[in-house]
Structure 1
Amino acid sequence: MKNPCPGLWLADIQEQTKHLTSLTNNLITLSRMEEERTRLQMIDFPFSDVVEETVKSFQALARTQNKTFETSIQPMISLYGDEKSLTQLVSILLDNAMKYSTPEGEISLRLEKAGNNVKLSVYNTADSINREQLPHLFDRFYRTDKSRSSRTGGYGLGLSIAAAVVNTHKGKITATTQDEHSLLITVTLPLKTQER
């Protein structure tokens, strides 16, 4: 019996190392976000521009996967917050929508002012959404479909990091479904936090 090619072993080890590094980085990010002593770099910044820029790479990815990706981004929305973590929030929500949308499915992002808040909504079609699972989507390590999540490379940390980012900015995040074949994640953030 021949030994498998050492090159394949090396490639497998490198891939596993990459996954473990990603998992470790996500856990560190989550633990930092959940620490009450976390010092965020709170500044006024053009959130509309950040969302617009973040969307670009996902639009290209959607095209390669034959997915429809629509956006409605209200211009000139400024936000007081940590630009780095809020950029990560947008990336997490879009990454989640891309990974779990149906083949050739639909994804949409909407950003708008709503009173004294900013509302960010990310929608995607899905094979099946169980309404009972919705409250758990933001739990650490929670995955709705274990086998599918392992194929997509997820660890069940993305949405829990998103929730931690929203919480540190005194906002709200919810997940809803109208028909059990789509998912809508809505983030509401105050334009100005109480404590500056």
Structure 2
Amino acid sequence: MNILIKNLLELASLKKKETYVLKEGNLSKIVDLAVLTFDVKAYECDIKLESKIASNIKFNFNTYSINELVEILLDNALKHADKKNTIVVSLKEQGNNIILTVTDTGDIIPNGEEEKMFERFYRLDKSRCKKENRYGLSLAIASNIVINHNGKISAESVGKVTNF
């Protein structure tokens, strides 16, 4: 229950964009460090973690929120990836855009569910979430973080490959 309350409070604070402080920094370093913190967890899940992070990408961001975003996306990928597979985190500049992608091979997202995944309390497999004390807030939090950084978030599932 404490996790639910924490997540609801975090979601509420993210909706108050005026309290959101963005500072220019090296986004590549922040994302790389966030990925490194998941190495042990990935190893324990028998999953390889690979990063393809372009160096020295400068951006205005909130460090805490970017860490949280990467953590949410990696945690989600670890929960849904097949064992003995690889999760790939990539960060690159494409024109005026910065693209962060987390790719895993595992659970399939049914057609038409991709956009719903970012709604509060939305869960694909409700029975599994009850057993694991999951409330369907993480991707809603991730969505708000991206919106507060003037970005867009999406999910795409082709076969067993899922990209966020």
TM-score class, shorter-chain normalisation, is over 0.9
Match status 1:29 vs 2:49: no
After superposition, what is the alpha-carbon deviation per residue over 1:25-58, rounded to whole angstroms, capped at 9, x for unaligned? 110110111134x311211111111111111121
Asked if structure 2 preserves the Cα contact closer than 8 Å seen for 1:99 and 1:152, the reply is no
Give the secondary-structure state (helix, strand or coil) at the position aligned to 2:163.
strand
Q: Which 5+ residue runs of structure 2 have no aligned equivalent?
A: none
Quote how far apart the aligned CAs of 1:182 are. Answer: 2.3
Give the secondary-structure state (helix, strand or coil) at the position aligned to 1:137.
helix
Q: Which 5+ residue runs of structure 1 have no aligned equivalent?
A: 1-19, 186-196
Give the secondary-structure state (helix, strand or coil) at the position aligned to 2:23.
strand
Would you say how many aligned residue pairs link Structure 1 and Structure 2?
164
Give the secondary-structure state (helix, strand or coil) at the position aligned to 1:131.
coil
Quote how far apart the aligned CAs of 1:104 are. Answer: 2.7
Q: 4+ runs of 1 displaced by more than 4 Å?
A: none
Quote how far apart the aligned CAs of 1:75 are. Answer: 0.9
Match of 2:161 in 1: 182
Correspondence for 1:151 among 109, 115, 131:
131
TM normalised by structure 1 equals 0.79
After superposition, what is the alpha-carbon deviation per residue over 1:120-156, rounded to whole angstroms, capped at 9, x for unaligned? 0001112332112111010100000012223333210
TM normalised by structure 2 equals 0.94
Match of 1:134 in 2: 114
| Residue identity (%) | 32
Asked if structure 2 preserves the Cα contact closer than 8 Å seen for 1:41 and 1:83, the reply is no
Code of the residue aligned with 2:95 in structure 1: it is G
In the TM superposition, 1:44-55 aligns within 5 A as 44-55=24-35
RMSD: 1.3
When Rg is computed on C-alpha atoms for both structures, the one with the higher figure is 1
